[in-house]
Every structure is written in C-alpha cells, then in structure tokens.
Structure 1
Amino acid sequence: MAITRRAFMKGGAMAVVGTSAIPSFLTRTVLAQATTAQAQGKKLVVIFQRGAADGLNIVVPHRESAYYQMRPTIAIQQNQVIDLDGFFGVHPAMQPLKPLWDQRHLAIVHACGSPDPTRSHFDAQDYMESGTPGVKATNDGWLNRALQSEDAMHAGRKYSAFRAVALGTQVPRTLEGKIPAVAINNVRDFSVGGQNPAAAPIAASFQTMYADSVNAVLHGTGTETFEAVKMLQATDPAKYTPAPGANYPNGPFGNSLRQVAQLLKANLGVEAAFTDIGGWDTHQNQGNATGQLANRLKDFSEGIAAFWTDMGDQANDIVLVTMSEFGRTVHQNGTGGTDHGHANVMFVVGGDVQGGRVYGRWPGMRQDQLYEGRDLAITTDFRQVLGEAAYKTVGARNLDLVFPGADLKSNRFLNILKA
C-alpha cells in the first residue's frame, strides 16, 4: 500500500495532517516521553477571529450616545444588551459567556489592537501573528518566540512533541519558528490501527519514509512527527467524550476547540495551542441582535463556554486569549454593514484571570475622538495583552525577544492575570 508524505516544513515548524490509519503497536507506553506543560504548569490557548470582528457590536458601549447615532439600524439596543458594568454590555448572542464574567474568569480589553494603520486583512493578520506591526521581514511568530524565551530560562529541559499545537491543515504564522510545532486537521483521522489488517504495512512504510531520509533537518523533523503521531494515537482519540455539560456547537470552530480540550486533557505536554474562526468580515447585512454577526457570535461563545466546561478543574491552569486583525468602522455603511476599522476588543479567559472587568482606557466615540475620523482609537497595544499572557503562562521572560521593538515591561502590564 503506497504511503505519501503528509507532513511539510514551514519556517522550521512541522504540520501533521493525518494518515488513514495508525498501527496497533502505537501504545500508551510512549506517553512516558511526554511531559506535563512546563512553566508553572500553565497552558496558553490562542484564538484568532479572522476577518476583522466588529468589537463595537460584540462589547457594546450602550451608554455612549454616539454609538446609536452612528449605527441607526445595526446597533444593539439597550434593552437587548447583556449589561456588564453599567456602561459596557455584550451582544445577546454571547449569553453563554456571561457566567464566566460573573465568576470573574472572563476579562475584556476594549479599544485594543495593532498600532499599524493597514486595513489589509492579509497584512494586519501577518503583523499580529508575527507580533511585529509594520515589519514584513519577520520570519517567525510571537508565540513561537515566547516558547524560545522559555527555553532560554530552562536549558536542557526536554519537551513533548505536542508542546506547541495548532488545529488546522498547516502550522499558523503565530507558531512558525525554531520551536517545533504540530498541526492536526482532525484528531479522529488517526484511527486505531489494530482494527485494520492493513495497519502493519502502513506503519512500516511511515517509519521507513523518515528513517531513510538523507536530509538531516527533514529527518529530525520527521522523527518528531512520528513520535507525535504515536503519542496521539496512544490516547485513543476516537473514543473521546467531552465532560457533562460541555455542549460544543456543530461546525469547524466547535470541533477545533473540542480537539484542543482533548489534547490538553490527554497529558501530552501541550503548552501552547492555537485555533481560529473565520466569518467576521461583515461588509453587508451585518445584522444587529440577530443576523450574520449574531450567528457567528453564538458559535464563538458556545464554543468557548463548552471548552471551559470540558476542561473542568484543569481550566484553572489555562489562559485563553482571543484576537482579531482590526475592528470595524464606527459608522455603519450603506449596505447595513461595517468596513475595515482600527481598534477592537480582546477576551481573556482563565483560572488566573482577574475578570469581571473591562480593561483599557475608553477613547470615546464623538467624531473628534475617532481615529482618522472614522474608527475607534486604540488605547491598548495588543502586544500588552499577549505579552502578559506569555509572561505569566509559558514563562516568557524576555519580552524583547517575544515582541521586538514593543518596549514591553512587566511592571506596565494591565494585570489582567494574577502574578
């Protein structure tokens, strides 16, 4: 049976896309090679909302009169907003996250984003994932560099092949770099080889393919990949059942978060995990309390809430951060939507989160307060939020390495997370 290589290198990282079957010899004994997540036992989960989410209709400044003046048909009415603190409230589709707010496990950072003025999805996403706004030459991602910073503090420490993992068909820009990262499109693709007589030749071909490699770099990466496959299969992924009450929404995002929870709970040594959710580019027919954006927010909120429930007690060791490349225009456009903007909103969820609070300075929405006369102004650089998360979870102490040029200092953190 022919086997084709299903792994590729990009920026030094490795993606495992999956094979049709994995042999029965891949047993749980390989878990002895895995470590629990290092750096204080914390794990960092990053979610990218691709397409530029409308932060103003997600976390609504419902006491800001200009908000209603500038959005006559798409604004979320005050009697529909889920109030948070008397000034801000969340979109009604985000009800699943309200308990996390009430329990102070959810914090919000508003008027947050990248200082780079680009309105290009491609460039803005690249700048946020590289962590170097305005610099196209950066060849690795901020989260990979955060793990590099951790390495510098713990020379000689052995890490799991699943230390950095992404759900998807390739390693995202965020995780590209010197630290090996694994991308998995679907955990369930790795079926139990013992149930398939063809498994043995598949296994032999798969191992030999890498063992015979003459390229030292590819050989090393291939070996790590095969070990990762063995470790993953040993957890019997097809039989995973979420915790009671963890009701993931149907669709790619819910499935991705379900698999992130599965990998974290399998004790594979995951420290950093990444996934994304698209569909936020609402130029037309955005809707208000119902409609296009509401449907996307329902999926988003239900997925995060289910993930939190699924993790159970382990949720206390997790920090989850959400981000989007830029916000939307303050004024709605002529087609009932919004165009590419500037400042946005970020969510931080976790056991160490000092939640129940909206962080950041509110810049106001009067015409004279807007960025370039059209957008919410940025008062918090997104790297402040990510830098604190990296510092207090994976132990990234060298912030100049993680975010070069940002001049981040730990004594200037927003203190969203407990020390």
Structure 2
Amino acid sequence: MSTRTIYTDSSDWGCDMHGRDLPRRNTVTRRGFMRGGALALVGTSVIPSFLTRSIYAEMTTAAANKKKLVVIFQRGACDGLNVVVPHAEKNYYAMRPTIAIKQNEVIDLNGFFGLHPSMAAFKPLYDQGHLAIVHAAGSPDTTRSHFDAQDYMESGTPGVKVTQDGWLNRALQDEKLAGKPSAFRAVALGTQVPRTLQGKVPAIAVANLADFSVAGRGPQTSPISNAFQAMYDESSDAVLHGTGEETFEAVKMLKSADPAHYQPAAGVTYPNTAFGNSLKQVAQLLKANLGVEAAFSDIGGWDTHQNQGGATGQLSNRLKEFSETIAAFWKDMGNDSENVTLVTMSEFGRTARQNGTGGTDHGHANVMFVLGGTVKGGKVYGRWPGLSNEQLNEGRDLTVTTDFRNVLGEAAYKTLGSRNMEAVFPGAKVNPASFLNFA
C-alpha cells in the first residue's frame, strides 16, 4: 500500500528490562526535596485571600492565562498498532493472525483507523473534537532499549546521554516571566521528580495527597512534611523568597479540606487503580488554583512480549484503565478543561508482526494522544507510512514519520507559551512551521 497522508490541518527514573518502575531510596535534603521530594496539596473551592496575594502577585505567562499542560508517559512501550488500529491495512491482519483487532470489533474513527474496543471512553472525546491522534510518531533514535529510549524522550535529546535536564523543565524555563512563579508550578505524581521535569525550574513530587502531614508536630507528622516546613523556614532560594511562609500556611489550610474524601465532579468515577488515583490527584491540584502549570504522571505495564491478547486480554485491560482514567479526568475538570492540554507518549512502539508467544517485541513508531479544550480533535494527524513489507522500518516496525518532539513542542508552545524551541529541543528544528496544527 502506498504512503497515506492522514492529517487534515496544515534519568533519574529507573525501570527494569521490561519497563517496570524500580524503587529508589527516599532521602530528604533541601536541594533534593526541590528536585525529588514529596508535597501534597488538595483542591478546594475556597481559596484564602492571602494565597491569592502571595502566589498570584507575580506569575508566568501560562499561569496568568490559566493554561496547564499534563504529560502522561506510558512506560514499557505500548503497542500503538493495536491501540489505534489501521483496520483498512490488509497486511495488519496477515502479520497478526491471533492478536489483531477484527474489523467488526474496532471502534471505527474514519474508515481507515479505529480504536481498540476497550477504549470506548475515548470515542466521545474524539467525536466532540477534544481528542486528536498522532500516528506513526516516535523518536528518530533507533534504540530498542527501554532505558535509553525513555531517557531520550524525557530529556528531549534522542541519542544524547549527557543531557542534564528534561524537555518540560526547559519549556518552563523558556516561558516569559512576569516575576516570581508559583512554588507549585511543576508537579509530578510519584515519589521522585521524573527526568522530564528535572532542571533549573524547581519541581515537586506528590506521592499521596492523603498521606501528607503538615502540622509540624505530633506523631502523625511525616518526615517529608517536617523537611518541607524546615526548608521554607530556612530557604534563601529565589523561587520561595517572599512566598514560603504564606505558601506553607496555604498547604495547611488546603489539608483541612480532607483530601482523603475528595469528591470528583458529579457523575465522575475514576478507576480504583494507581493510575486512576494519580490523575484524580492531578485534577485536585489543578482545581486548587495554586498556579500549577505542568503536571506529570505515568502508567506502566505496556511491555507485552507474551500473551498480549487481542480484543480481550492483557493489553485490553491496560487500555481500558488508561482511557477510562483520562476520560474521568477530563470530565472532572469541568469548565476548567478549556485551559488544559494533555499529551501522552511511550518510549517506542512494538513490532508489526506478532511473535511466537502471542505477543510483540520492541518496535519503533507509535501513537500519541492530545486532549484539550483548544485541540482540533476528531482527526488522526501525521503521515501514515503503510504496513507493506517494504514500508516497514528495518523490515519489522512501523516507520516514524512524525518526530515526537514536534508534538510535545506544539503543546508547550501553544499551552505554556514557550517560544525558543531550539532551547527546549536542541537540534530538532522544531518550530511553528513543523507543527501539525492540532491546536
């Protein structure tokens, strides 16, 4: 089949060989806290007046515009061909005799592509024009190593192992500042600040909102909480200067809202999983109006070498959790969703052909989702390279036709207001002329 144009508008993170997260030591220092500590906040509809004065007095462009970028990393290399299925490609079925999604099972999108049947929660978002899909996206680097590929995508510098910071941190550095930004500007859900957010801009890791103690005294107070208060008491860091004491008081007041009993918007139910809880907490943080501009979360379990399944099975279960969690988050944000852009990524795709154990091996191009209030959704963007044998990368994988940095760059440019794309993605030649114009 010939190539097909499908767009319509012009670490410090560890994983094992299967892309699973590895635990890290939880030590706390003042500097380490800002780079990899834990802070918990909870959304409330009542924002104290002093919080408005201290945090909002000086802010960045994105904060002033109430824009927020949420980045989701699917760790382990998701099989994009069974996520957004090219059901009009005959070779897709020839190469996947037992794991292909049958045409009568696919949730059709445009006559050529369709969603995996477990992703029914995404179909209304697509139909409403909020969800855009970028297929055949990925890194120009050809590594099949989880470690290297994740590092390259989080640093934004494929093939370069010495990059010190993450692309999202550099995107925040590139924003036009109107003064000192919020201390809560960059937040990651987890016990460590991920590679994506490491760098000059202070970022905070949130392990669990309900477990965070802020009293400063008593047996219920956590070591992280005590370290956080001590950091504010003693800090001379510019980002905290003049706002530290009041910000910590804000945390105390927000804690009194009882985060363990947070109620999502009417009709919203998050999956009772780690990822479901993670995005529920992201929603709480964003709705707290603390000046969060960038939030990061991830979900593992995508390394399907064996028993991947087709319409049901291992991958199906993961996709159901993934799509239903994101759909719940979108609905939970309510009117605030107009100011949110969410983008997903995975280190690489999987082989076009299934292997001998009913799974797929490490591949190349993949699929990315972009969800947002200003997104021109309801379309599949990018250039489809085809699945004929001669069109495959190295004779085995879907070929990359859209550099993942163009997708992330457009999201940062149009959401955060980052303009120096050369600083964010050095050497990638990312600029408005290369954007897919999905937003």
Q: 2:213 touches 2:220 (CA, 8 Å); kept in 1?
A: no
Q: Which residue of 1 aligns with 2:7?
A: none
Q: Which residue of 2 aligns with 1:351?
A: 373
In 2 relative to 1, CA 79–34 (structure 1 residues): closer, same or farther, beyond 3 Å? same
343-352 vs 239-248, which moves further: 239-248
Q: 2:214 touches 2:225 (CA, 8 Å); kept in 1?
A: no
Deviation, structure 1 residue 248: 0.4
Match 2:301 to one of 279, 302, 314: 279
Match 1:34 to one of 30, 50, 55: 55
Q: Which residue of 1 aligns with 2:322?
A: 300
Residues 3-22 of structure 1: pairs in structure 2 closer than 5 A = 6=28, 9=31, 13-16=35-38
The one-letter amino acid of 1:73's match is T
Deviation, structure 1 residue 13: 2.5
- Give the TM-score, by structure 1 length: 0.88
In 2 relative to 1, CA 71–225 (structure 1 residues): closer, same or farther, beyond 3 Å? farther
1: distance between equivalents of 2:100 and 2:91?
Answer: 11
Q: Which residue of 1 aligns with 2:19?
A: none
2: distance between equivalents of 1:102 and 1:204?
Answer: 44
Match 2:185 to one of 150, 158, 163: 163
Q: Which residue of 2 aligns with 1:189?
A: 211
Find the residue that maps to 1:354 and give its secondary structure: coil
Q: 2:232 touches 2:244 (CA, 8 Å); kept in 1?
A: no
2:263 maps to 1:231: no
The one-letter amino acid of 2:128's match is Q
Map Cα deviations across residues 99-155 of structure 1 (whole Å, 9 max, x no partner): 0001000000000000000000010000000000000010000000000000xx33x
Find the residue that maps to 1:16 and give its secondary structure: coil
Match 2:122 to one of 97, 100, 105: 97
2:394 maps to 1:375: no
2: distance between equivalents of 1:286 and 1:204?
Answer: 42
Deviation, structure 1 residue 240: 2.0
Deviation, structure 1 residue 188: 1.0
Map Cα deviations across residues 303-356 of structure 1 (whole Å, 9 max, x no partner): 000000100000010000000000000000000000000000000001000000
2:94 maps to 1:69: yes
Q: Which residue of 2 aligns with 1:173?
A: 195
1: distance between equivalents of 2:138 and 2:307?
Answer: 25
Q: Which residue of 1 aligns with 2:22?
A: none
2: distance between equivalents of 1:358 and 1:204?
Answer: 45
Q: Which residue of 2 aligns with 1:107?
A: 132
Find the residue that maps to 1:188 and give its secondary structure: helix
Match 1:362 to one of 373, 384, 394: 384
2: distance between equivalents of 1:161 and 1:178?
Answer: 13
Deviation, structure 1 residue 7: 5.2
Q: Which residue of 2 aligns with 1:128?
A: 153
2: distance between equivalents of 1:228 and 1:339?
Answer: 48
Q: Which residue of 2 aligns with 1:335?
A: 357
2: distance between equivalents of 1:315 and 1:44?
Answer: 11
Contiguous gaps of at least 5 residues in structure 1:
20-26
Deviation, structure 1 residue 11: 11
- Give the TM-score, by structure 2 length: 0.85
In 2 relative to 1, CA 404–224 (structure 1 residues): closer, same or farther, beyond 3 Å? farther
Match 1:210 to one of 189, 212, 231: 231
1: distance between equivalents of 2:164 and 2:260?
Answer: 36
Deviation, structure 1 residue 281: 0.2
Map Cα deviations across residues 151-195 of structure 1 (whole Å, 9 max, x no partner): xx33x522111100000001000000000101010011125749x
Match 1:59 to one of 67, 84, 90: 84
In 2 relative to 1, CA 211–84 (structure 1 residues): closer, same or farther, beyond 3 Å? closer
2:409 maps to 1:390: no
Contiguous gaps of at least 5 residues in structure 2:
1-25, 42-47
203-212 vs 271-280, which moves further: 203-212
2: distance between equivalents of 1:227 and 1:182?
Answer: 17
Deviation, structure 1 residue 409: 1.5
1: distance between equivalents of 2:145 and 2:27?
Answer: 34
2:165 maps to 1:140: yes
2: distance between equivalents of 1:259 and 1:383?
Answer: 27
Q: 1:28 touches 1:234 (CA, 8 Å); kept in 2?
A: no
2: distance between equivalents of 1:294 and 1:333?
Answer: 18
Q: 1:42 touches 1:394 (CA, 8 Å); kept in 2?
A: yes
Q: Which residue of 1 aligns with 2:272?
A: 250
In 2 relative to 1, CA 239–33 (structure 1 residues): closer, same or farther, beyond 3 Å? farther
In 2 relative to 1, CA 113–206 (structure 1 residues): closer, same or farther, beyond 3 Å? closer
1: distance between equivalents of 2:222 and 2:341?
Answer: 42
Q: Which residue of 2 aligns with 1:86?
A: 111
Q: 1:207 touches 1:226 (CA, 8 Å); kept in 2?
A: no
Aligned-residue CA RMSD (Å): 2.9
Map Cα deviations across residues 13-62 of structure 1 (whole Å, 9 max, x no partner): 2422569xxxxxxx874453223852632110000000000000000000
Q: 1:105 touches 1:349 (CA, 8 Å); kept in 2?
A: yes
Q: 1:110 touches 1:360 (CA, 8 Å); kept in 2?
A: yes
2: distance between equivalents of 1:6 and 1:391?
Answer: 34
Deviation, structure 1 residue 212: 8.0
Q: 1:191 touches 1:238 (CA, 8 Å); kept in 2?
A: no
Match 1:321 to one of 337, 343, 360: 343
Deviation, structure 1 residue 412: 2.4
Q: 2:232 touches 2:245 (CA, 8 Å); kept in 1?
A: no
Map Cα deviations across residues 272-308 of structure 1 (whole Å, 9 max, x no partner): 0000000000000000000000000010001000000
Q: 2:140 touches 2:403 (CA, 8 Å); kept in 1?
A: yes
